[in-house]
Chains A and B, each alone.
Chain A
Amino acid sequence: MASDKDLDSPDRRDFLGKVTTAVGAVGVAGACYPFVSSMNPSKDVKAKSTSVVDLASIPKGKTHTIEWQGKPVFVTHRSDETIADMQDASTELDPQTDADRIQKPEWLVVVGLCTHLGCVPNRTDDGWICPCHGSLYDNSGRVVRGPAPNNLIVPHYEFVDEKTIIVGKKV
């Protein structure tokens, strides 16, 4: 059997070759990282990952549509009547209580895209109706009639103070 002291021994040959290959492979993998990373959102896009909403400009009973990450978001200043109605009501398609969908009862914040195929629903007195296939949503953004399968999505948002919320999370 060849001893380890022999320069040409199989053990020693494999070791140098294997180490070099491993070190090289690490470099190749590392070299890929910047290219893959460059395809992720750039700094200016990441800056738009949150949107600030001034609630003082929304009168009671009205809905404003703001832009967040390129998508429409409905911010509704709900009247006491509406709040009471929503707290009593329940839906069957995607059961969820009103309380689970709001932080403060007079403010509803939902992504304004129909959960069916993504059209923007139109505002009605009782909620929203989607012009594409007729899905109906109530004043809590819950789906009342399909073909939409789910309630309007509630995005992550935070109250900075009484009059301002930030929608979304900083990336």
Chain B
Amino acid sequence: MIKKVFSWVDERFPLDEMIKHELTEYPVPRNLNYMWSFGFLAMFVLIVQLVSGIFLAMHYKADVGMAFDSIQHIMRDVNYGWLIRYLHSTGASAFFAVIFIHIGRTLYYGSYRRPRELLWWTGLVLLLLLMATAFMGYLLPWGQMSFWGAQVITALFGVTPFIGEDVVVWLRGDFVVGDATLTRFFALHYLFPFIICVAVAIHLVALHWVKSSNPSGITLHAKDNIPFHPYFTIKDLFGLGVFLIIFFGFVFFSPEFWIMPENNVPADPMVTPPHIVPEWYFLPFYAILRSIPDPLGGVVAMAMSILIFLAMPWLDRSNVPGGAKFRPGYRIMIYVWFLDLMLLGYLGAQAPEGIYILLGRIATFIYFGLFLLLPFISRREERRSREQGLPREAERLIREEQEELLKSEHYLRRENDQQELKDIRKRLEDKS
């Protein structure tokens, strides 16, 4: 019976073929480790946020007089409202944790390199969309941190030359963060996740064209690929199980860990809390912002701290293929960079006084310094590899990759097209 339905559909829609080509028979390198499960986890958390968000929106009121009360209504009166609220607040942190590990994996293993640059850039767009969504969502509970965080960050746009003040007022819809701001942030916070869904689809299209990289960073022989199903369906599901234990551990036993106590106090435009701290996932960027004494410089530095990632494919000038596995210089750089990020995160939560100011500047300097050093480090590393020779395993993989490329779809198609072009030109010449 089911078979009949599917064959009826098959005549009219490539459902079966799509499922086979993109999912069940999709080729994946056999040596992927669990670091490759985080893309799937991110998609799962996206769905958790979407569903919990929509059900919260059924009860939330985006009005400065009612917002805080509506959250308490959800927590106390709505059936399982507390659960849906905690899913959403914990999910926001889980989303960033998963995404940061996902990005870390990409940097370490060199998955941003040719031919995966567009995959990398669409990923960065997704990160920016996520940050904007999280920032706007944080205003909605209308607590003290919500209000003052939004007040500070919208004020940053005032550094825009000439029209700064107008930009800030335009963003807020008012001279200060107020009802107009709250309503529009709610509308946009509801919209952005759907833009994220479209961007994820584009990200996946890019992925399926170039296929996953792997821990060696070098394309494997075709014979070393295995179908996604059942190998990676079950592996991803197991990874999901482990993740859910941690995630629900927080949701049910420590949800308040992710909610700043100040935000349990209704927003008061007349009283600023002693320490305004953004959520943990914004801390490193907040630290960079504060470490530049000039306001415009600080905002530019903060923006550049993310935008500079766009340049990774160019900054990395090595022609030695692969990720950190066969590149000791690059590996050290990545470790230093991760440690620096930890330091920046810690500093972002401290009051900007005393030794923290100096440390913040040093950490920012290291952050950008590493990016700017990358061209030199990578070129030097390549030279040394050429002189000393690559490890045997790397050489074997590179050789197999070359063989593979020659047989690859894109290569053949390009060769084919070029041949066709030659034929057409010849025919035209013969005619004239």
Contact = CB atoms under 8 A, between A and B. Distances in A.
A61 to B, nearest CB: 41
A43 B58 CA distance: 15
B79 A40 contact: yes
A34 B79 contact: yes
A44 B84 contact: no
Nearest to A46: B77
Contact of A42 (B51, B55, B81): B81
A38 B73 contact: no
A15 interface: no
B370 interface: no
- For A34, A38, A42, the residue with the greatest tally of chain B CB atoms inside 10 Å of its CB is A38
Interface in B55-81: 55, 58-59, 73, 76-81
B83 interface: yes
A42 B83 contact: no
Interface in A44-75: 44-45
Interface in A17-35: 34-35
B312 to A, nearest CB: 38
Interface string B72-104: 010011111101100000000000000000000
A44 B76 CA distance: 9
Contacts, number: 34
A37 interface: yes
B84 A38 contact: yes
A38 B78 contact: yes
Nearest to B84: A38
A43 B59 CA distance: 13
Contacts of A45: 77
B84 A42 contact: no
A42 B78 contact: yes
A45 B78 CA distance: 9
Contacts of B78: 38, 42-43
Contact of A44 (B51, B55, B73, B83): B73
Interface in B26-80: 51, 55, 58-59, 73, 76-80
Contacts of A37: 79-80
B73 A42 contact: yes
A35 B55 contact: yes
Contacts of A35: 51, 55, 80, 84
A34 B83 contact: yes
A2 interface: no
A37 B58 CA distance: 13
A39 interface: yes
Contacts of A34: 79-80, 83-84
A56 B59 CA distance: 39
A43 B77 contact: yes
B76 A43 contact: yes
Contacts of B55: 35, 38-39
A37 B76 CA distance: 14
A24 to B, nearest CB: 8
A42 B80 contact: no
A45 B59 CA distance: 13
A90 to B, nearest CB: 46
B290 to A, nearest CB: 41
B58 A42 contact: no
A118 to B, nearest CB: 25
B360 to A, nearest CB: 43
Given A38-B80, A39-B58, A45-B77, 11 more contacts: A34-B79, A34-B80, A34-B83, A35-B84, A38-B78, A38-B79, A42-B73, A42-B77, A43-B76, A43-B77, A44-B77
